[in-house]
Each structure stands twice: as structure tokens, then as C-alpha cells.
Amino acid sequence: MRTSVVAHPAGSGLPARPWAGRLTQPVAVQGTFDELGTPLREVTFVVVDLETTGGSPLSCAITEIGAVKVRGGVVLGEFQTLVNPGEPIPAFIAVLTGITDSMVTTAPRVGAVLPAFAEFCAGSVLVAHNAPFDVGFLRAAFAAHGRAWPAYPVVDTARLARRALTRDEAPSCRLATLAALFASSTTPNHRALDDARATVDVLHGLLERLGPLGVQSLDELTTFSARVSAAQRRKRYLAERLPHAPGVYVFKDGYNRVLYVGKSKDIRSRVRTYFTASETRRRMGEMVRLAAVVTPVVCATPLEAEVRELRLIAEHKPRYNRRSRFPERATWLKLTIEAYPRLSMVALVRDDGAAYLGPFGSRRTAEQAMTALHEGFRVRQCNQRLSVTRPTPACALAEMGRCNAPCDGTESVDAYAQHVAAVREAMSQDADRLVRAITRRVDALVARERFEEAALHRDRVAAFLHAAARMQRIHGLTSIDELVAARPADRGGWEIHVVRSGRLVAAGTSPVGAHPGAAIAALVATAESVLDARPGPLPAAEAEEVECVLRWLEAPGVRLVESSSPWTCPIRGAGAQRSWITGGQLARAAADPFRDRRGLRPSA
């Protein structure tokens, strides 16, 4: 039985499609092979094996190619040829394979063999035992002779065996061991055709093992993992009615609570991987066990899918999504409005005329940026509110020469205002003065071999520059009331987006071969209106959404169609100091070259 799903869940944030709807009654529909994927019985496999003069395609050459073409368990043809490597065959290789220099003297060179081999493999799936070895040599040979690699789908029988067999069944996954396990009619002997024939029997034996586990199609075979539990595999039916289209997918439990939100260029193929692929994240396995339904949200463009995902995560805060759940928890750096302004970390942006920098993902990063500003400019670091008429005693920072003591009247309001103006300028349009000041300090510390302190200053200014560059880019887009842009779609036509105050308010495509003007006019006319704009650099959308739109606008091929005002960015802004930003990131990574970056977790 097939039941339709809601095209756009509540809270997706963009106008509903006029064609979206819900069928209230289930409709019985005969399943199609497209819904099931390509059945394995209809897949043509070419099982290939190579003999070479060594182990590296950069320094060694092919001496023999053997291949067997099979479909549905029936052998359709075989391909075998010796290849002249153009170099002597090492003695131990000759002993191992039985292929000598005299045997390949009259054999064709690999450049003459490749056209016939490519024709033999056309439209097939390549299979090899330890496929990276054989495919690596083939790719190198194609490249060396100026031929484009056909990018065949590849199945590795050694990899499948490691996932499908236990150590009791197969102590090793060598071809000879597996051929004996599956009673192959051909014994591997390090000759290409015989080894390919043995690999055919191993492939068929593995497919018999994987069939009861639910592996019935090519997609399921190429994404198979034994670490996916049987309970997860039994829920494959959740993906069977999903569309092959770009968009967002929403996992829900039996109480209609949102568990997880993701996006993909192909919703159905991506969701299937949660049940058959190497999805080893423990939280995802737990999520799939709780899932009762998967709701798709078909989108016109990949950008629309990315934005919808962010909005749904922010609205529902699914327990199994780790990122983007709490955009409201971001930290901002505020330059206050008072007689003697100061820098303060706040959680909200208010319409109070103050200057704001952010949002920061963590309080620690905001503290680094604030410290960089304190080191570059003589703004006070105390928290109390100062009065012009009632001086207060100066703190220790004044005695240390790190503050001009406006609190006790040593520095006037006008003189102090110059420091505040410099901070405001660094935050909004020109960071050169701050960078020069920090550079002098870093150079002095390095000259005295105080490298740790120099690194602290470098990290602080890098944190400030990263945040300032981000905010300046965002403000350049959010200050435009309406912007329309288009990019050629992959399958023809145009992807069209309407952006208002940094918020994506409409997305669509124009038909192939038609002028996009009508589609643009329709999208602009029906686009979402931006009401109740918030104060600050993010009037209508969160920072992540604006950055998604910016990445798309800056991608190759995008054309600006209309803009209500110029799209600009400060020429001497923080973005011009990109070397500081990237330099700090690279230096931190190089400081700990052996840090464990695998992120592995123990699993049963």
C-alpha cells in the first residue's frame, strides 16, 4: 500500500507549494523496479583481475588483464590478454605469476589494449578482489594514455567479505581462502583470467549470503555494512515511497515527534542508507529504531533544501541533530551606549544604537575577540557604570598603564570617545589599526622567544577577525531589501532565488528552453514578505541561513538579476586580513600534528 505524505511540514518557513497536499485515503499501487533500485539479477558485472610488475601504479606496469562478464549468474564473455610492460619483470614476480619476459615480448602495450577492454566493460559494474589495487592501475593506465576514466561503479569482494563473514568462517579474506570457502571451480594461481573466474564464484557466494540480509539491489550492495543491525534493516520500508528528488527528510517517532532532520540531493537514496549502509554512528542506530515514519519535503533547488533543513532543526530541535539546534544561544559582543562605553558579552541584540559583533558560537571565542580589542585599543575593561560628574577611584589596570583611567577623570569624555570610535571602526569596516598593533606585540614577543604568549595574541586577533569578517559579509547581504539571482540548473533551465534582508523567501526553476523572465516574475510576486524585522545585522534570518545564501551567491555561474541596492563589503574590512584567520587555524593544527582526529567510538 502506498500512502502519500505532506509535501511541507509545518514550520518549514517557506510558502507552501500550490500543488502540495495530502491524500486522506491509502492507495494501492504496484511497486516498480525503480522504487526497489536496480535488482542484482539485472546488473552486468565485469569481474577483473590484473597481474603487474609490482605494487604501485606510479612505478610499475600491467603484465596481464583478465576479465569475466556475468549477469544473473550466467557468464556472458571473457577477456584475457598479456601486456608488454615495457620494462623487465622482476624475478620474484615471474616466479609468483609464471609470466616471464619472453612471454610478453610480442604482447601488445597497454595503450593498445585499453580500447578493447573499455568496450568489454561498457555499461557494467567492475568487480575486483582488493579493488583499489586493480582500479588504481587501470586509472593510471587510462590517464597515461590520455583517456578519461569511465568512472565505473566498483564492488570490492574483499571488502564485502570482511563485512559479511565471521573470522570463524574465513580466518583471512585472501582470494584463495574465500575460493576454498565457496568451493570455487577455479583455483586462484596468480594468473589474471583464473583469478577473475575464482572471484566470480566468490562474488556469487557472497551475494547468496547477503540476500537474506535484505541486499537485493545494486544500491544496497554498494552501501552494505554488517554493522547495521537487523532491526535497522527491517525498517527499509520507510524509504520505499520516498521520492528521487532533492529536499529534506524528517524522521518522526510513533508520537509524531521529530527525531532527526537531514537533506539530500536524492531523498530516497539518502534515507535508504540509514537502513543498509555503513551508518556506524550509534545515535543514528538508536534514532532509526525509534523512527516510525519519514516525511519528505521536496525542494526546487539544493539551496532551498539547505535552508529548510536549518529552519526545521531550529524549530523542532530534534534530539538526534547535533548542530544548528539552538541559534538563539549565540553570544554577541556589544559596545555599549553610555558616557564611557565598554565591551560586554550579551545574548540578545537590541535596538539601542549600540554596535554589535557576532554571533559567536561559544563564549570562549567571544572572550578571545574581546581581549584582542582590549589589547589594541584603550577602552576600559571594568564593568561598572561610570559617571561624568562623580569620579571613582582607578583600578589596577590604570596603575599598570593598560587603561587611561576615565573613571577618575584622568581622561576626558572626548578623548575617550576616540578609542570608542576606533573600536567601532574595527568592528564594522577597517581592522588595519588593530592588526598593526597586535602584529607589533607578536613580533616583540617572538624576538624575546616568548612563543606561547605570541600564539595567544595571534589566536585572539584571529578570533576577532573571523567574527568581524563574517558579520561584515552578512551585513552586506542583509542590508539589501530584495535581491534576485539565478544560476544554470544541472539539467537545463535556471535555478532562481529571491532573497529579502538576507532571508530566502522564494526558490524555483525555469523550464528548459524557456525565457526565465516569467518564472522570476512569478516567484517575486508570490515570495514571502519579511515582517517585524529584528534589530542588528540579522533582521530576518539566522546567521547560518544567510551564510548558506552567501555561499550560493558566490558560487561560479550565479547571475544577479535584480537588486534593490548595491551589494558591498568594506574594502579594508576584516575579510582583507584572511592570512591572519587562516594562519591561526593552520598554526593550531600544526601545534598538535598527532592529535587523534578519528572520532571513533567503541561499538559492540
Active site residue ranges: 190
C-alpha cell belonging to residue 190: 596468480
CA gap 583, 592 in Å, rounded: 15
Contact between 206 and 222 under an 8 Å Cβ cutoff? The reply is: no
SS3 string, 400-448, reads CCCCCCHHHCCCCHHHHHHHHHHHHHHHHCCCHHHHHHHHHHHHHHHHC
CA gap 458, 450 in Å, rounded: 13
Contact between 456 and 462 under an 8 Å Cβ cutoff? The reply is: no
CA gap 121, 116 in Å, rounded: 9
The CA distances from residue 385 to 390, 393, 559, in Å, are 11, 13, 50
Q: In sequence order, what DSSP letters do the residues of 454-472 get, joined into one string?
A: HHHHHHHHHHHHHHHHHHH
Contact between 349 and 360 under an 8 Å Cβ cutoff? The reply is: no
Q: In sequence order, what DSSP letters do the residues of 105-160 get, joined into one string?
A: TTSPBHHHHHHHHHHHHTT-EEEETTHHHHHHHHHHHHHHTT-------EEEHHHH
CA gap 485, 490 in Å, rounded: 16
C-alpha cell belonging to residue 299: 525542494
C-alpha cell belonging to residue 70: 556475468
Phi and psi based region of residue 478 (left: phi greater than 0; alpha: psi -120 to 50; beta: remaining): alpha
Which residues lie closer than 8 Å to 492 by C-beta, 6 or more apart?
512, 513
Which residues lie closer than 8 Å to 249 by C-beta, 6 or more apart?
242, 261, 262, 263, 264, 267, 270, 271, 294, 295, 296, 297
Strand partners, 251: 260, 294
